[in-house]
Chains A and B, each alone.
Chain A
């Protein structure tokens, strides 16, 4: 049964498949469906065409196993090139892992061999339509500095390039970065430059919501569902329907909620707390975290299947200390923002103090420091004395640029606490290993930790178990 001419929109299709029988069959079927079908048994010319911008296919049918390069690698090239083609993976393996790997890598969908002709036909139709829709929605905005993400450092230019490429692709993105680095700004930039720019952008900080309320914040609740639920509430998924949902601090989401979130992402439906009906939602999810989510998965604090769903692409936002050459620009920006009609200027000494500091709180901490300085300044110039003492004080009376690590007053409270905790941990581990006479298993047992984590802690503090065996 082939689709009638009236049903079918012809698309440009490229079939990358080295199994001649499969390639012939696909070409025959899609040719009968009136598509323009190109075929390649070798992925390399396809990569070359991608690079030369000679790759305007609507649909690419890509075998997972290819000579020279795996199908998933090829798919990665497509994603990185910002191609809008919908890629359908062909796999001979019906395991969940392969399917997950394909979707995770940004495929439109997958077909498991052997597949039915009609499955191929209809999937190519959907895939082609999806591609055309995205092309229509994409407007080419002129490249330029995004005033919300200031900086000319290599790290920021790289981030903006990544943003430009990723914004137009409607895939889930995981933004990784320390706190105070502007992850929400990045999410907004992705939304504003993408196909959903005219739809809603809804942000939710998963870390800021009490565990008891997070379900209803995400999925909504009906009136009377629990004490205090005095009206129906749609939840952020419904609010963001058709647009982008930004989930900040996703690592703080409890496991039970993670399971429900995964189901919503898989099924495209939400069921409000206390309700019996479901509602279809279609949302692009951008998640952010400052923790190492992969590590959390290993610790079983975060679900691996949800991690794969959210992490089609990771976008890393650099900490301020990795982009110190942006500091003068950022400081100038905040001075203009908070300095009133006649913003003050920063003295050379104050700027040096800013550059010397480690900025554990990143750009947010910088903005606070500028606010502090603007409030306390004498005259039109900000000197180191107007900066918060843990920043400005580092150079006071110090001839060397590197402050003494023993000077407790020269570091921030956050930094002081971190160092103290680390020292304490090391002393504790040392005592435990002495008692355990160098046995990692025994040490782990005494410390109440599992062996793997205990060993990792020892490594982190540079403690060699063998040295305790005497």
Chain B
């Protein structure tokens, strides 16, 4: 089953770049530019993986918490942030994030993390 990723970032350039990197790597990709449309898309299309930016108009961690509350471990949530410091990482973990990705991230690294995530989810992915 093709893994489905939702990329949530209000920065057009980053969102497009990540979507392309994932699309050319064989993922199904959807995009959203803020928290509310992201959550609506999750309800409608049940992605396996969500990559969400730390800052947007909506706080990225609010999205993380909402998703983890409703879906638990069946959705893999990675937070994208430019701050590579222990406090930020701790906040992300507390919110329930499965991974913290530091910008700028290379397509290769992104693929590596998300492919591993998809494989781990594979056993629980509903047909």
Residues in A lying within 8 Å of B, measured CB to CB: 10, 15, 20, 23-25, 27-28, 30-32, 34-42, 45, 48-49, 52, 54
> A37-B29, A45-B45, A49-B44 given as contacts; is B24 within 8 A of A31 (CB)?
yes
Q: Which listed residue, B16, B27, B46, touches A35 by the CB 8 Å rule? A: B16
Number of interface residues of B (CB under 8 A): 24
Least distance between B86 CB and chain A CB atoms (Å): 34
15 pairs, CB–CB < 8 Å, chain A vs chain B: A15-B23, A20-B2, A23-B26, A24-B23, A24-B25, A31-B17, A31-B20, A37-B20, A40-B4, A42-B2, A45-B30, A45-B46, A49-B41, A49-B45, A52-B44
In Å, the complex CA distance between A3 and B2 comes to 30
- Verify B44–A38 contact, CB threshold 8 A: no
- Verify A24–B28 contact, CB threshold 8 A: no
Majority-rule SS of B interface residues: helix
| B5 and chain A: residue at smallest CB distance | A39
A32 — which chain B residues lie within 8 A by C-beta?
20
Apart from A23-B26, A39-B28: 7 A-B pairs, beta carbons within 8 A: A27-B24, A28-B20, A32-B20, A37-B16, A37-B29, A38-B29, A48-B44
Give the contacts of B10-44 with A (CB-CB under 8 A).
12, 15-17, 19-21, 23-31, 37, 40-41, 44
B19 — which chain A residues lie within 8 A by C-beta?
31, 36-38
In Å, the complex CA distance between A36 and B31 comes to 8
In Å, the complex CA distance between A23 and B7 comes to 18
Cβ-closest 8 pairs across A and B: A31-B20, A27-B23, A45-B45, A28-B24, A41-B2, A39-B23, A48-B44, A27-B24
In Å, the complex CA distance between A58 and B17 comes to 18
- Verify A23–B23 contact, CB threshold 8 A: yes
A37 — which chain B residues lie within 8 A by C-beta?
16, 19-20, 23, 29
In Å, the complex CA distance between A407 and B107 comes to 85
Q: Which listed residue, A27, A28, A52, touches B40 by the CB 8 Å rule? A: A52
Q: Which listed residue, A36, A39, A45, A52, touches B16 by the CB 8 Å rule? A: A36
B15 — which chain A residues lie within 8 A by C-beta?
36
A45 — which chain B residues lie within 8 A by C-beta?
4, 30, 44-46
B40 — which chain A residues lie within 8 A by C-beta?
52, 54
A15 — which chain B residues lie within 8 A by C-beta?
23
A48 — which chain B residues lie within 8 A by C-beta?
44-45
| B41 and chain A: residue at smallest CB distance | A54
Least distance between B53 CB and chain A CB atoms (Å): 15
Q: Which listed residue, B16, B26, B27, B37, touches A31 by the CB 8 Å rule? A: B16
A23 — which chain B residues lie within 8 A by C-beta?
23, 26
| A45 and chain B: residue at smallest CB distance | B45
Least distance between B116 CB and chain A CB atoms (Å): 19
In Å, the complex CA distance between A287 and B26 comes to 45
A25 — which chain B residues lie within 8 A by C-beta?
24
B37 — which chain A residues lie within 8 A by C-beta?
54
| A46 and chain B: residue at smallest CB distance | B45
Q: Which of B20, B37, B46 has the most CB of A within 10 A?
A: B20
In Å, the complex CA distance between A10 and B31 comes to 15
| B25 and chain A: residue at smallest CB distance | A24
B2 — which chain A residues lie within 8 A by C-beta?
20, 41-42
In Å, the complex CA distance between A49 and B26 comes to 21
| B29 and chain A: residue at smallest CB distance | A39
In Å, the complex CA distance between A30 and B20 comes to 8
Least distance between B35 CB and chain A CB atoms (Å): 14
Least distance between B38 CB and chain A CB atoms (Å): 11
Give the contacts of B63-101 with A (CB-CB under 8 A).
none
In Å, the complex CA distance between A143 and B29 comes to 36
- Verify B44–A24 contact, CB threshold 8 A: no
In Å, the complex CA distance between A62 and B20 comes to 18
| B47 and chain A: residue at smallest CB distance | A45
In Å, the complex CA distance between A15 and B20 comes to 12
In Å, the complex CA distance between A388 and B24 comes to 73
A41 — which chain B residues lie within 8 A by C-beta?
2, 28
Least distance between B37 CB and chain A CB atoms (Å): 7
| A20 and chain B: residue at smallest CB distance | B26
Least distance between A54 CB and chain B CB atoms (Å): 6
- Verify B20–A42 contact, CB threshold 8 A: no
Q: Which of B16, B24, B27 has the most CB of A within 10 A?
A: B24
Least distance between B107 CB and chain A CB atoms (Å): 10
In Å, the complex CA distance between A27 and B20 comes to 6
Least distance between A242 CB and chain B CB atoms (Å): 34
| B12 and chain A: residue at smallest CB distance | A36
B26 — which chain A residues lie within 8 A by C-beta?
20, 23-24
Q: Which of B23, B26, B40 has the most CB of A within 10 A?
A: B23
In Å, the complex CA distance between A14 and B27 comes to 13
B4 — which chain A residues lie within 8 A by C-beta?
40, 45
In Å, the complex CA distance between A23 and B28 comes to 9
- Verify B28–A31 contact, CB threshold 8 A: no
Q: Which listed residue, B12, B17, B27, B44, touches A39 by the CB 8 Å rule? A: B27
In Å, the complex CA distance between A24 and B28 comes to 10
| A31 and chain B: residue at smallest CB distance | B20
Least distance between B15 CB and chain A CB atoms (Å): 7
B23 — which chain A residues lie within 8 A by C-beta?
15, 23-24, 27-28, 31, 37-39
In Å, the complex CA distance between A31 and B16 comes to 7
| B19 and chain A: residue at smallest CB distance | A37
In Å, the complex CA distance between A45 and B45 comes to 5
